[in-house]
């Protein structure tokens, strides 16, 4: 059991990779446990799933993974293994559909974004492959400056890139045609993404600029999983070391869905109302209560 918990702790400590990568590692970890210990130690399932949920509680894909494993396990352990294998092998098809939708939204547009979105990177690459040279304005991504790395990546891919400070992006938004951001979670009420997304959405609405989130539906979070969801306050030393006063270091904020023009997904372009309705259809395992109880113990 310990080797699987070690992998989960690595996922919890990761500050460099996005939800898609961490989701894959978590699925691989759970599949390995099922193949090696699941049949002989089924009592380990709930603790293992609870630790997976706690690892990155603001990332909906991990919480959805826990729920789907529970639903499949309720039918049979073999069904759960099949689910995880299918999950690990399904990337290419849904990404292709999502990219096609993204091209319709971004082609010929000056793009404003923040933070790193694996999905947006795929769409920018597709634009470049079509001979487009997208113009991108991106803010720096404090406190870890993750968007600086993303800006370099966009530039190396061949895009025209402008990097600005986090606070300046709101004033420079007038130079863009469309705002495109990723997502770590979408609940029935709001989009969860890198801090700065909410004010960017407000300014975009004020200036009549379309605002889209680029996400697969794996990041839609049903209300039944809300008790597992949490936006954490991270290490204050990332902002200021040895500060003599309080430092707040949230990575994510919440943007009400009403400020979105739409969500670009593998199911097409979804309006806020369609997003809400789709989330309401997601089944939640009755065994999720055991995971919640374990997390809160």
Residue 81 to residue 47: CA distance in whole angstroms? 18
Residue 91's pLDDT is 60
Residue 69 to residue 285: CA distance in whole angstroms? 9
What burial class does residue 5 get, using C-beta atoms within 10 Å of its C-beta: 0-12 exposed, 13-18 middle, 19+ buried? middle
Give the strand pairing for 252-256 and 190-194.
antiparallel
Q: Fold identical between 2-91+284-296 and 92-280?
A: no
Give the strand pairing for 262-265 and 211-214.
parallel
Q: Where are the domains of the chain?
A: 2-91+284-296, 92-280
Q: Other CB atoms closer than 10 Å to residue 101's CB: what's the count?
A: 21
Residue 95's pLDDT is 80
pLDDT tens digits, 214-245:
998 999 999 999 999 999 999 999 999 999 99
CATH 3.30.300 applies to domain 2-91+284-296 = no
Catalytic residue among 166, 184, 216, 253: 184
**CATH: 3.90.1150.10, 3.40.50.10470, 3.30.1360.30, 3.30.70.141. Which one for 92-280?**
3.40.50.10470
Residue 280 to residue 258: CA distance in whole angstroms? 17
Q: What is the pLDDT along the chain (297 residues), one digit of tens a residue?
A: 899 999 999 999 997 777 778 999 999 999 999 999 998 999 999 999 999 999 999 989 999 999 999 999 999 999 999 999 998 886 656 788 889 999 999 999 999 999 888 889 999 999 999 999 999 999 999 998 989 999 999 999 999 999 999 999 999 999 999 999 999 899 999 999 999 999 999 999 999 999 999 998 999 999 999 999 999 999 999 999 999 999 999 999 999 999 999 999 999 999 999 999 999 999 999 999 999 999 998
Is 184 tagged catalytic? yes
- What average pLDDT does the structure give for the chain? 94
Copy the structure tokens of residue 61: 């894909």
DSSP letter (8 states) at residue 196:
T
Give the strand pairing for 110-113 and 135-139.
parallel
Residue 269 to residue 275: CA distance in whole angstroms? 10
């Amino acid at each position: 059991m310990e080797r699987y918990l070690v992998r989960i702790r690595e996922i919890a400590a990761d500050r460099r990779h996005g939800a898609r990568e961490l989701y894959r590692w978590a699925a691989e970890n759970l599949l390995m446990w099922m193949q090696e210990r699941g049949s002989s130690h089924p009592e380990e399932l709930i603790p293992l799933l609870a630790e997976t949920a706690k690892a990155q509680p603001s990332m909906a894909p991990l919480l959805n993974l826990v729920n789907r494993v529970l639903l499949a396990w309720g039918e049979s352990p073999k069904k759960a293994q099949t689910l995880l294998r299918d999950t690990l092998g399904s990337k290419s098809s849904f990404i292709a559909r999502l990219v096609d939708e993204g091209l319709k939204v971004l082609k010929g547009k000056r793009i404003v974004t923040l933070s790193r979105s694996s999905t947006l990177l795929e769409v920018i690459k597709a634009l470049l492959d079509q001979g487009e040279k997208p113009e991108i304005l991106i803010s720096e991504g404090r406190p870890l400056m993750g968007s600086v790395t993303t800006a370099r990546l966009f530039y190396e891919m061949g895009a025209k890139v402008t990097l600005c400070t986090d606070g300046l992006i709101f004033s420079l938004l007038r130079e863009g045609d469309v705002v495109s951001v990723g997502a770590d979670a979408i609940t029935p009420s709001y989009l969860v993404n890198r801090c700065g997304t909410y004010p960017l959405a407000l300014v975009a609405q004020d200036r009549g600029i379309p605002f889209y989130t680029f996400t697969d539906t794996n990041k839609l979070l049903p209300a039944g999983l809300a008790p597992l969801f949490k936006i954490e306050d991270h290490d204050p030393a990332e902002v200021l070391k040895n500060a003599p006063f309080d430092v707040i270091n949230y990575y994510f904020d919440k943007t009400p869905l009403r400020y979105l023009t739409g969500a670009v997904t593998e199911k097409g372009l979804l309006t806020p109302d369609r997003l809400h309705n789709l989330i309401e259809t997601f089944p939640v395992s009755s065994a999720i209560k055991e995971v919640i109880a374990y997390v809160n113990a």
